[in-house]
Structure 1
Amino acid sequence: MDAQLPNFPEWRHLRRKLAVFDTVLTFPGARFPWEALVAACKQLGIMSFINGAHSLGYVDLAHLGDARPDFMVSNCWKYPPRGCTVLYVPLRNQQLISSTLPTSWGYETREERAKMEPHEYISRLFDKVSTTDNTPYYCIPLALEFRSEVCGGEAKIPRQGGARMAELLGTGVLGSSSSSFRQCCFTNVRLPLTFSELAIDTSC
C-alpha cells in the first residue's frame, strides 16, 4: 500500500471521492487488511466505504470505531433471520444520508433537514421503512446467545469448524495461527490429494 501512495496524486484530477473494499477475501479465504486501507483513504482525502457483508460473525469488529471508516454495512453471519443489516455511519457523516431505499415516511427535503440535528434525522429515517420486516431484529439477542452458549463464543467459532473438517479429512488447516488465513471464518483446509493424483505437472 505505501509503495502505491506516491503515485496517487497524478490521478487526483479524476476526482475520486469514495473507495469501496471488503473485509475478507474468498479465493483463498483470508482476512483483508481493511484498517490499512481506511488509513490510506484518510491520508489521500478519500472517503471509505466498507462492504462488510461477511464481517459480522466472521471477523472481529470490536475496533471499528478506532479505525474510523466513513461508512460500513454488514449483514450475514450472526445467525438472525435474513433481512437483518447493520449500517455504520459515524456522527461526522450522518448529514450525508438523505434517504432510505426506497424513500419512506421519514424523508424530509434539504431545507427541512437543515433545521434538524443530523443524528435526529438519520434516526427518523429508519424509524419506519414500509418495505422492512422488523422481526429479524428482535431475534438478535437470541442469536448472540446461541453463538455464545452453543457455538462456544466468538473467539472459538472461526477455529473449530476448520479444525473439525481437517480432522475428518485427515489433513490440516492452512496458514499459521496468526496469519490472515486464520483470522476469519473462511477457513482453508488442505484436501487429501496429491499432485500426482490430480495429474498436475509440477516440473514447470
Structure 2
Amino acid sequence: MAAVNGTSAADANSQIHKKPRLYADPSPPLFTPSDILYEFSHHDPTVARINNGSFGSCPSSVISAQNELQIQWLRQPDDFYFNQLQPKILQSRTIIKDLINADHVDEVSIVDNATTAAAIVLQQIAWGFAEGKFNHGDAAVMLHYAYGAVKKSVEAYVTRAGGYVIEVPLPFPVNSVDEIVHEFRQALQRGKQNGRRVRLAVIDHVTSMPTVVIPVKELVAICREEGVDQVFVDAAHGIGCVDIDMKQIGADFYTSNLHKWYFCPPSVAFLYCKRSINNSDLHHPVVSHEYGNGLAIESGWIGTRDYSAQLVVPKVLEFINRFEGGINGIKKRNHECVVEMGQMLVEAWGTHLGCPPEMCSSMVMVGLPACLGISSDHDALNLRTCLREKFGVEVPIYYRSPKDGEDGGVTGYARISYHVYNKVDDYYKFRDAINQLVHNAVTCASLPIS
C-alpha cells in the first residue's frame, strides 16, 4: 500500500505519452514515501482524511510555487499584468490541452471551478430560449445524481428561460453500466415527447454523491443518435481521477476541477469547448473589458484577483511526473487502493459496495451497518459530525431512502477517497470508529443534534 514504488524514472517517463515535461533534468528522482510525508505534512495528523473528493489536496512544493507567484504579483503588479500573466495562463492551458487530447489550445479556457464552467454553458442555453432559437418547453436532460450546484444552475438558467428539465433516475446501489444506459435512453425519449427538442444533455463523468463512474462515451454517442443539440460533461472529479480524451468522449463541452485530484490549490478548473461550436455565443458570466475577445481571453481576466492557482499547473505537472507512471500510475494505484479499502470495510461490517469495482474511480461508496439507524439526510450529517469530532475521521455520509417494501437494509453509505497521501491506518481508524459505535449500541437517534 505504499504511495510510490521503486521502478526506474526512465520506465515512469515512458508511460506518459506525449505529455510535456518541464524539468531541466530529464530524469528527476521518483518520490519516496518520506517525500510524500513531507509534501503533505501540513495535513492535520490527528485526522484520517479520507475525503479528498470534496476539496482535494495540494502538496507543499506547489503551495510554495503559488506563494512565489503571489509575491511576484504584489511586488510589481503592472509588470506582472502586462508581461507575465497571459503568457503563464497560456502555458497552463497548453499543458491541459495536451493532457485531455484536445485539438487546439483555443478549445481550453481556465475558470475558477466546474460550477463556473456550468454557468457559462447554461447561460448560452438560456440565451437560446430568450432569443427565440429554442422553443418554449424544449428540454434539457440531466442525471438525478447531478451535483447540487449544477442542478441549481439548471434551474436558474434553463427552467427560468422556459426550458423543460428532465432528470434521469438512476438506481443506487448500481449493478451495471446497462442500468444507466437504459434509464438515459428512456429520459431522452421523454424529452422528445410532444414535439419537443432536447437542446442540452448534462452528463456527469464521476458523480459526486453517491459516487459512480458514468459511461460518458456511450451516453454521448446515444445523444448523437437521438439528435441532442449539445452535450455538456460535468467532470468535476475528472482530471487525475479517470481517463480523459476529448476526441474519444466527443462532447461539445467538458469541465473538470484541477484542485480535486490534480493537486492544484483552490480554485482552478478548465472548460473545454469543441471548436465546431459557435464560441461567439459563450461568455464568462463576469463581464470584464475582455468581453468579446473569446471565452479563453475573457476567462483569463475577470478583474483584479489572485490568479496564482491557475499559474501553477506547470509546477503540478513536475510534481506528478515524479510518481511512477505519472498521472496514469497515480490513477491506477488510487483505484486499486480505494477498492481494497472499501472491500476491507464492507467485510468488517457485513455490508456491500455501492457499485462494482470497475464502476468506481478513486472514490467508492461503502455500506454502513444498518443498526446505526440512518434514516434521513440529517442523520447522515450528524453521523459525519460525530466521526469528525469524536474520532478524527473525515468522510462524507450518504442517506439512501429505502425502497417500497424494503425493511432493515443498508440506508447509509460512506464515500471514501484514496489519494497518494493516504495510509491504510486511515481506513482502519474509520473501521474501528464505526465498530465502536455499533458495540456501544449508538444510533443516529441517540447522537447529539448538530
TM-score (norm 2): 0.35
1:124-139 correspondence runs (5 A): 124-130=297-303, 133-139=306-312
Q: Residues 10 and 132 of structure 1: is their aligned pair in 2 closer, same or farther, counting only changes over 3 Å?
A: same
Contact 2:236 2:255 in 1 (8 A): yes
1:9-158 correspondence runs (5 A): 10-11=192-193, 13-26=195-208, 28-46=210-228, 47-61=230-244, 63-75=245-257, 76-108=260-292, 121-130=294-303, 133-149=306-322, 153-158=330-335
Contact 1:162 1:188 in 2 (8 A): no
Contact 1:48 1:69 in 2 (8 A): yes
Shift of 1:166: 5.1
Shift of 1:125: 2.5
Shift of 1:28: 4.3
Could you say what the CA RMSD is over the residues aligned between the two structures, in angstroms?
A: 3.4
The 2-side partners of 1:34 and 1:57 are apart by 16
Contact 1:147 1:154 in 2 (8 A): no
Q: Which residue of 2 aligns with 1:160?
A: 337
SS in 2 for 1:141: helix
Write 1 or 2 for the structure with the bigger share of helix. Answer: 2
Shift of 1:31: 0.7
Shift of 1:164: 4.4
Contact 2:331 2:362 in 1 (8 A): no
Contact 1:80 1:143 in 2 (8 A): yes
SS in 1 for 2:195: helix
Contact 1:166 1:190 in 2 (8 A): no
Q: Residues 166 and 148 of structure 1: is their aligned pair in 2 closer, same or farther, counting only changes over 3 Å?
A: farther
The 2-side partners of 1:100 and 1:10 are apart by 30
Once the two structures are overlaid, the 10-residue window that deviates more, 67-76 or 7-16, is: 7-16
SS in 2 for 1:149: coil
SS in 1 for 2:207: strand
The 2-side partners of 1:169 and 1:148 are apart by 34
Contact 1:106 1:128 in 2 (8 A): yes
The 2-side partners of 1:107 and 1:15 are apart by 31
Q: Residues 79 and 12 of structure 1: is their aligned pair in 2 closer, same or farther, counting only changes over 3 Å?
A: farther
Shift of 1:57: 2.2
Contact 1:162 1:189 in 2 (8 A): no
Once the two structures are overlaid, the 10-residue window that deviates more, 16-25 or 160-169, is: 160-169
The 1-side partners of 2:289 and 2:335 are apart by 40
Relative contact order (C-alpha < 8 Å, sep 6+): which is higher?
2
The 2-side partners of 1:6 and 1:99 are apart by 28
* CA displacement, residues 96-137 of structure 1 (integer Å, 9 cap, x when unaligned): 4442120112213xxxxxxxxxxx734432332216532012
Aligned length: 184
Q: Which residue of 2 aligns with 1:113?
A: none
Contact 2:217 2:248 in 1 (8 A): no
Contact 2:188 2:198 in 1 (8 A): no
The 2-side partners of 1:42 and 1:90 are apart by 15
The 2-side partners of 1:167 and 1:201 are apart by 22
Larger Rg: 2
SS in 1 for 2:201: strand
Contact 1:57 1:77 in 2 (8 A): yes
Q: Which residue of 1 aligns with 2:444?
A: none
Shift of 1:139: 2.1
Contact 2:288 2:301 in 1 (8 A): yes
The one-letter code of the counterpart of 2:246 is L
